[in-house]
Amino acid sequence: MRLTVACIQNSAQSEIVPNLEETATLTRQAASEGAQFVCLPEYFSCLDVIGNMLLAHPLPEDEHPALPLFTGLARDLKIQVLLGSLAIDTGGEKFVNRSFMISDTGEITARYDKIHLFDVDLPGGESYRESASVAPGDQAVLAPTPWGPLGMSICYDLRFPRLYRALAQAGAGMLTVPAAFTKTTGEAHWHVLMRARAIENGCFVFAPSQYGVHASGSACFGHSLIVDPWGRVLDDAGEEAGYALAECDLDEVGKARGMIASLQHDRDFAAPEIAAPPLQAVGAE
């Protein structure tokens, strides 16, 4: 079975409408080149960082303009669409970072709220506190697709392999990792982590990402990727607006898992005991 996938790459700014217009145009272009499944980045409709605080303009789900726009596009273009994530106001003190899977009939078939939140302090004073404004999810999600189950995740989730193992064990042969990866961490870890998640789970990985500098000066890495289950990069969108596009032979999932059947070899084990602190030397402070 073959599937043509596009991973859209944009540089969202603080105004929603221009971001939606650009990503809708890119979605149409990708569909015109044969994409059957189009994936958009994390916070593709609005993103900026002020200080270490995230600016993503949360709205209630039934009021967010991205949803009617892209459910309509999915239906009109007869494609499946992943909305990498939107900031959704659920009525609490914090919003959720939510990914949506949309069928080719325009129906929302799955929702996933980001579990792992990006709270980090990087060299040079670069600091982020996603948990200051975002409430974490607590449920792993498989989305139904015509090509089999798809495991959903968002950005910083990438660093937590246990999530992807659970998705693969539950039947996922494809994983989505929409992101707005920082340029600092992306240059160091983006490609190797995406390839690792593909290899260790025998899955295709579809990773649409933002690129470029936002109004506040924060920068995203770009390099939207499509990776096959053997860890080969099928396409890389570089560092400008556009998309990665590749035809994926989904039979490669079974082939990779047949050669290295690690999903069948997981074993339970006891966690290590926590070591006692070392004895303090006599006379030490």
pLDDT of residue 275: 74
Mean pLDDT of the region 205-233:
93
Mean pLDDT on 236-252: 98
- Residue 28: is its pLDDT beyond 90? yes
Q: Select from 216, 174, 167, 196 the least CA-distant residue to 2.
A: 174
What Cα–Cα distance (Å) separates residue 1 from each residue in 38, 61, 253, 265? 17, 34, 11, 26
Q: Domain residues for 241? A: 2-260
Q: Which residues are catalytic?
A: 42, 114, 155
Neighbours of 72 (CB within 10 A): 13
Position 61 scores a pLDDT of 97
The whole-number pLDDT of residue 281 equals: 52
Q: Let me know: does 18 contact 241? Beta carbons within 8 Å.
A: no
- Is the separation of the CB atoms in 94 and 134 below 8 Å? yes
For residues 87-95, give the mean pLDDT.
95
Residue for token digits 């042969």? 173
The C-alpha atoms of residue 58 and residue 56 are separated, in whole angstroms, by 6
Token pair listed for 84: 């990498």
With 0-12 / 13-18 / 19 or more C-beta atoms within 10 angstroms meaning exposed / middle / buried, residue 220 is buried
Q: Say which CATH number the domain at 155 has.
A: 3.60.110.10
Which residues are within 8 A (CB) of 88 and not within 5 positions of it... i.e. 6 or more apart? 58, 59, 60, 61, 64, 95, 96, 97, 98
Average model confidence (pLDDT) across the chain: 93
pLDDT on residue 283: 43
Query: What does the alpha-carbon distance between residue 133 and residue 229 come to, in Å, rounded to a whole number?
Result: 35
The rounded Cα 59 to chain-centroid distance in angstroms is: 20
Q: pLDDT by residue (tens digit) across 161-212?
A: 999 999 999 999 999 999 999 999 999 999 999 999 999 999 999 999 999 9
Task: Assess if residue 284 is contained within a domain.
Answer: no
Please give the pLDDT value at position 216.
75
Does residue 279 belong to any structural domain of this protein?
no
| 255, part of any domain | yes
pLDDT computed for residue 284 by the predictor: 41
User: Does a structural domain hold residue 273?
Assistant: no
Residues 6+ apart with CB under 8 A from 51: none
| Helix or strand run (H / E) with residue 26 | helix 16-32
pLDDT of residue 20: 97
The secondary structure of 214-267 as a DSSP string is -TTS-EEE---EEE-TTS-EEEE-TTSSEEEEEEEETHHHHHHHHHS-GGG---
**pLDDT one-digit tens code per residue, 29-63:** 999 999 999 999 999 999 877 665 667 889 999 99
- Backbone phi, psi, residue 209, to 5°: -135, 155
| Count of structural domains, the chain | 1
Has residue 271 been placed in a domain?
no
Asked if residue 229 lies in contact with residue 197, where contact means CB atoms within 8 angstroms, the answer is: no
